[in-house]
Structures are given as C-alpha cells and as structure tokens.
Chains A and B, each alone.
Chain A
Amino acid sequence: MTKQQAQSNPNTNGAPSLLISLFCLHRLSDAVPFSLSAYYRICCPFPPLRSPSPTQEKLAMAQGVGMFTVPQTIGSVLCCRCGILMQPNAANMCANCLRSEIDITEGLQKHVIIIFCPECNSFLQPPRTWIKAELESKELLTFCVKRLKNLNTVRMVHAEFIWTEPHSKRIKIKLKVQKEVLHGAILEQAYTVEYVVQDQLCESCARVQANPDQWVAAVQLRQHVPHRRTFFYLEQLILKHDAAKDAIRITQMDQGIDFFFGKRSHGVKFVEFVGKVAPTRSRTDKQLVSQDSKSNTYHYKYTFSVEISPICREDLICLPPKLSVSLGNLGPLVICTKVTNTIALLDPRTLRQCFLDAEQYWRSSFKALLSSRQLTEYMIIDMEEVRSEENVGGSRYVLADAHVARVSDLGKNDRHFIVRTHLGHLLSCGDCALGYDLYSANSNDFELDKYRGVIPDVVLIKKSYEEKRQQRQRKSRSWKLKSLNMEVDDGTRGREHEEKMNTEYEHFLRDLEENPDLRFNLSLYRNKEYEPSMGSVADGDDVPSVPLDELLADLDLGDEESEEDEMVE
C-alpha cells in the first residue's frame, strides 16, 4: 500500500503523514492454512473462524440484513524485524523472519531405517508384521508416515513421495506440517524425511529359501476302485473352482492324488471343498517338526487322509438288507445314478430313487456289485411301455419291458431275456444298450447270496453309441479340457498302464459328451485345432456331442486378434 496525503490535519500543517493502511485478519483458522512456508507462500487471508472480531460479526449480520456497511480494506504493516512491507498477521513478522526464528520441525525424525524383504516385497512393521507394498504406493506412504515418532506434536497436512532411484535403497517423503507459534499464528513448513531401506528376508521367505519343498499340510485323496474316472472328474472340478491354487505340489499316486500345501488352513479348506463334491470320510494327524519350548511355539506337519466312497455312477449295487429296509424296502439291486456329496440310488424296477449322504453311506459301507467295466452290450429286440413317463428326481424315466439279447449271442444262439428297465424313454427297437449281465456273472457278494427273492438276469444301464462312433470319421472333438499340473511317478508302470489310462480318459470324455448334467459343473474350452470334417455328411442320428454354445472360448491374452465373445454356459 502507498502513503497517502494527510487529510485535514491541522497539527501537522501539510506535512505528509505516514499512513500505512492495514488489514483485518489476525486469528488463523485451522481449516485454511495461512501458510508461511519455506517457499514464501503467503495466501490471501480468509475470514477468521476461531474468534471473529465484533466488527466482522456485525458486518456479516448487517450484510445479511441488507444494511449499508463500510468495506474494510486490508492495509500493510512493517515487519517488526526486517522492516519490509507485508500483510499483517498474528505474529506481525514476515515469513522470512518467522522462519529464521522458529523451526517447527525441530525434534522430528528426519532419518529412519526400514526393513524390506526382497522375496515377497514387504516391509517390516515391528515387532512381527510384514506389510506388502509397492514402491510409491498408498500403502507404503501410510506405512512410512506411521514409522515417524513424535508426529503427533504437529499437525500433518500433506505427504508425498520424492522420486528416488529404485535401486538406491532410499525412499524420500516430503511432509508439510503445521504448528501454532507465538501469538496464535499457525506456521506451515515443509521438510523431507529420508528412509534407508535395509534388506532382510522375512521368516516365511527364509523358511521357503532354506527348503523349497517344505510343506506344512498334505491332503491324501484316495478312492479304492480300479478305475480313475472319479479323479478325472475331480480334476476338472478343482480346475473350475480353483481349489488347488494354494497347493505347492500335486502328485499322482496309485488310486489317488496327493496335494501339498504351505499352510494348514489351505489344507483344511481343500478337504472341505472335496467333502462338498464327493461323499468322503477324512482323518487328520500331525507330526512335530520343531519346537521352541522357551516361547512355547511348535511347528507341525499335518496330514489329512480323505477317502472317497467307492460307489461311482452306473454301478450296480446290492444293498445290505438292513439298509434296504431302512430306505423303505428299496429293492436290493439298485443302480447308482449320480454321485455328488450324496449318492443317488435308483431302483430300476420300481423307479424309486433315494439319496444317501456321506455319513449314512459310511455307516453301512457297502461295495458295488458290478461296475461300469463289466458292462456288456445288448441288442433291443422289442420294447413295451409299462407306465408313462415319470419325473424322478429331476430326470425322466419310463418304465418299460424290454426284450433283449446279448450282442455276443446274436447269431450264435437264441438266448434272450425279458427285463424290466427304466430306460423306456431312450431305447427303441433295434437300439443297442449297455447293461450288466447277471445271468452269467460270477459275483462274490455276501448280500447277493443271502437274498432270497428273484434276481433279474439283466440290468440295462444306458444306451450304446458304439457303432455310430465307429462310423464317425472325426478323430478330434470340438472341445477340450484343461488339466492340473500333476507330477506323475512314471518309471514303474510301463506301456500297458499308459494305454489303460488313455482308454479310461477316452471313456470319460465320452461320458461327458453323453451327459449334459455331468458337464454342468465343468468348464469346457473350444478346441482351436478342430475342423469339422469335410467328407461326412449326415451323421445320421446324433452321436451326442457338445453343443457349441456350451463351450468357453479359451481366453488368449496374446497378440492375436481377440476371440469372439466368451460364451458361458
């Protein structure tokens, strides 16, 4: 502001008066910093919040009512130390003088050492927590600010990173703090804190480094049946639900699979997952690995032994009499139609279905009489419906009488059987079906021996597409499956075992094609190598295949043009 000429000053006869005009702000609000920072920022003053002067209040009120008020112009005053003109403030000193007198960052930490684990990119918060954070991230900023002591004596307004070379092992943070100084002025100052980063492996990484194959929990999944269909199916389920993402190692064993985990909780979670998709019974044990008796900590290895029930789909079962009676006289010969965490049993003669959950099964643990390896082919000579279509537990069956003959018998002899079957909706004259041949089977089963009633000669299970498959030219399918990353102990088996595995896998794939409800829980992916064969025209009657809209396009994050929209079933 400038000097003004004296107005009507009789005393000093025209001598220029030193009128230095002034301002009105004094008390500074908390919310808006009047900043006298190192960068000599002096913001425009704001109306005071803490103790408004009476004139301010009156002004505000008067203006509200609409009265005439005199505008108050803020003048300037000389700094009491250096004498430069400045806007007045509570300390009546210019920014420079105030800064040179008072340093509010005195007593605050400027150098801190922090500890970093290079394996898992985390920082140590003593005494024992490790916090994962990237360089220049929000979490790292919060962590660094928390490590500063005495920061509660001042009010922190702003914090940000100053760029340092990533390999320099230094992190710099610029902090702006505010503190009240003499006469109620609030001074804001910026300063830098430097963090020295020291490398140290955290305990879990150290343990992993020392012994990379170290597992803490092992889940041994077993099913005592001669085939591996269940494990193929389980593998697909595990892939779909990502249940084995925490597994350190997966090993394929005889009659089962072993999963190894780094934490007990992962093992428990996996066991529960398996319990939800298959009827299982499990046992757990632990073994002491090391202990620290001074601090009472013990390290164990935990083993979970999970046994899956040996009953599979399409098995023929002869129920023990007690169980049969308790299920309401379900005829002792039943077919297992579906296995999830319950077993669904269907009596083919009465079309009654019932469910057994895992506990009930293991209480009366019966074995299958005949399983799908022992299916024989039959030719349908004649079909006659007995009852109309029924809906049993979600699937449709038609009770019918069928006149069948074994395919191996055709042309050789005249043996035929009349059998009551539940597949009346699928089969018709001239079809092939697969079923169990009880007439010529030599079964070694107590329950069956004890049974007094009539045992049917044949139990039909499903329709056979064998001939049509042989006619089919196509070798490849339009879809494919992913597989788990398993270690297989190869050496001892030999080629026969491998061939057996391949045929079983092929059967499993055929099963998937034939049964939409089996596919329901899995993810199938489109096979890129598949070309529909040019030559073959009408496949005639459907060999069942997977309709295209059930396939998931395999997500390819490469450079090629993106796949069409994913189609999810």
Chain B
Amino acid sequence: MATRLQYENNCEVGVFSKLTNAYCLVAIGGSENFYSTFEAELADVIPVVKTSIAGTRIIGRLCAGNKKGLLLPHNTTDQELQHLRNSLPDSVVVQRIEERLSALGNCISCNDHVALTHPDLDKETEELIADVLGVEVFRQTVAGNIIVGSYCTFSNIGGLVHPHTSIEDLDELSTLLQVPLVAGTVNRGSDVIAAGLTVNDWTAFCGSDTTATELSVIESVFKLREAKPSALVDEMRKSLIDTYV
C-alpha cells in the first residue's frame, strides 16, 4: 500500500528517508509526524531508525543499502556510524566507504540482487558494493542522466524510471535488472523519482503532491495492492508445497 506524506511541508520524502526490506532510516528534526507515519506502517516488521548522516538530514540521498548491507559516505561521523551499527540488525553490514562522489544515494540505486551505479564510480567502490551489498553491479545511465540513483527506483518486484526514457533503454534496463520497469512521474509531474518516492517489497511512501494517476502507476508496477509481508511467504508456500500429507 502506498502512503502519501510530507517532511516539514516538503514532498520529497525520498530525500529524508531510506527504506529497505530489513530496516528503515528516517531523518531527525522536524515534527514527529514523519517518524510516526513510518512507525505505524513498519514498526512490527522492521526497525525504524532515526539518524543523521554527516550531520545532515538528507540521509536518503547520502546512503545506499539493501537488506544485506548499508553503505555510508566518508563524512559520516563516528557517533553516527556507531549508532547505526547498534540500531540495525546484525545481518546488515554497515560500511563507511571512501569515495569522491559522496552522495551515495544519488549514485547507487539497488535492490537485493542488482545495483545500477554512476558511470564514474571508482573501481574499489564498485567492488565494495558487490561485497557489502551482495549484488551485481552495472554502470548505466537512465534517460541520458548519469545520476542513476535519483532518476530510478526499483525493488525486487518492479521499478519506476525517469519519464523521458526511451523504449529501447527501458528494454535494456529491464533485462539487466530482471524486473518490470515503467517510466512515470511522481509528485505531480516531477521526474526526480527517487527523491519523491521510497519503496520496498511490500510498501511505498511518496510525497503528498502525488496525483492519483501516479499513485496507481506506482501501486501497479510495485505490486503493492495485495502486498503484505506475509503474502510473499504464502505465495512461495503455494509453489513449494506440492501436496499436503
């Protein structure tokens, strides 16, 4: 189910939060409304952690992660690093990396299996990503934009990309990522997808300016309508179990 919300009257919720299948990071400051919306949705399933990165609130754009790991830029303070290590489950590897392009959220877009990165990322960073996040890394551009982390968002089920992507590009990306992709907009025609939307396998949060049309597109591509955390398991159970004895 997709939820519409605002951070301090700003619709770019993907900037101030990071949502994965194993945890959720939320920026501090502002009113408790933002935090409590996430809590209401996710509290019993995954931990919701309030944090800052490098003393800033724009945590969604500075860090990149999935259920296996979390990558932080070089200017994260030690306290923040420690706080995150403490708050997140042990299965999540928290790693601070030295990279010239420090807005990792803008440079890396990933789900649990595949990652798309900025073409100019260092070789070591790429290896680290593959290691820490356990994903296959592809250097790509989206609709001619090199900051792939801003212009596309995908989960294990589907993905949403910049509205100006051509059909050929869409096909190519879809083949790489092995998920169905749709080109669309968020927040009333804004083409910066990842800034306006944050999503995991069963839920999504987007800015309150998002129109009903956009919301329906998001819900259909990420398959959020019937999605509940248990629904995944139920489906797998159906395909795994042949007969009941």
Contacts and interface: CB of A to CB of B under 8 A. Distances in A.
Contact of B178 (A9, A72, A77, A182): A9
A21 to B, nearest CB: 3
A226 B143 CA distance: 100
Interface of A: 1, 6-12, 17-26, 53-56, 70-75, 77-83, 88, 91-93, 182-183
Contacts of A72: 166-169
Given A22-B163, A92-B190, A92-B191, 4 more contacts: A12-B180, A19-B167, A20-B184, A183-B191
A181 to B, nearest CB: 11
Contacts of A11: 156-157, 178-180
B180 A22 contact: no
A80 B141 contact: no
B181 A19 contact: yes
A434 B156 CA distance: 127
Nearest to B166: A72
A10 B170 contact: no
Contacts of B36: none
Given A56-B144, A82-B213, A20 B182 contact: yes
B165 interface: yes
A80 B180 contact: no
Contacts of B141: 54-55
A7 B175 contact: yes
B135 interface: no
**Best-buried of A1, A7, A25, A88 by chain B (most CB within 10 Å):** A88
Interface string B124-162: 000000000000000001011110000000001110000
A187 to B, nearest CB: 13
Contacts of A71: 168
A78 B184 contact: yes
**Best-buried of B145, B146, B175, B211 by chain A (most CB within 10 Å):** B211
A80 B211 contact: yes
Nearest to A55: B144
B211 A24 contact: no
B167 A73 contact: yes
A22 B169 CA distance: 9
A12 B170 CA distance: 17
A85 to B, nearest CB: 11
B144 A53 contact: yes
Contacts of A53: 143-145
**Best-buried of A19, A25, A56, A74 by chain B (most CB within 10 Å):** A19
A92 B185 CA distance: 7
B2 interface: no
Contacts of A1: 167
A78 B217 contact: yes
Nearest to B162: A22
30 contacts: A7-B174, A9-B178, A11-B156, A11-B178, A17-B174, A18-B220, A19-B167, A19-B170, A19-B171, A21-B166, A22-B164, A22-B165, A22-B183, A24-B144, A24-B164, A53-B145, A55-B144, A72-B169, A73-B166, A78-B184, A78-B214, A78-B217, A80-B185, A80-B188, A80-B189, A80-B214, A81-B188, A92-B190, A93-B189, A182-B189
Interface string B193-231: 000000000000000000111101100110000000000
A53 B183 CA distance: 17
B120 to A, nearest CB: 12
Contacts of B184: 20, 77-78
Contacts of A78: 184, 213-214, 217
Contacts of B145: 53
Nearest to A77: B163
A299 B120 CA distance: 83
A77 B183 contact: yes
Given A6-B180, A56-B144, A77-B184, A22 B175 contact: no
Contacts of A91: 189
Contacts of A73: 166-168
Contacts of A70: 168
B129 to A, nearest CB: 22
Q: Please name the 4 residue pairs, one residue from A and one from B, whose CB atoms are nearest each other, closest first.
A: A53-B144, A21-B167, A17-B180, A92-B189
A92 B212 CA distance: 14
B220 to A, nearest CB: 6
Nearest to B145: A53
Contacts of A75: 165-167, 170, 183
A78 B221 CA distance: 13
A247 B143 CA distance: 76
B166 A18 contact: no
Contacts of A18: 180, 182, 217, 220-221
B112 to A, nearest CB: 11
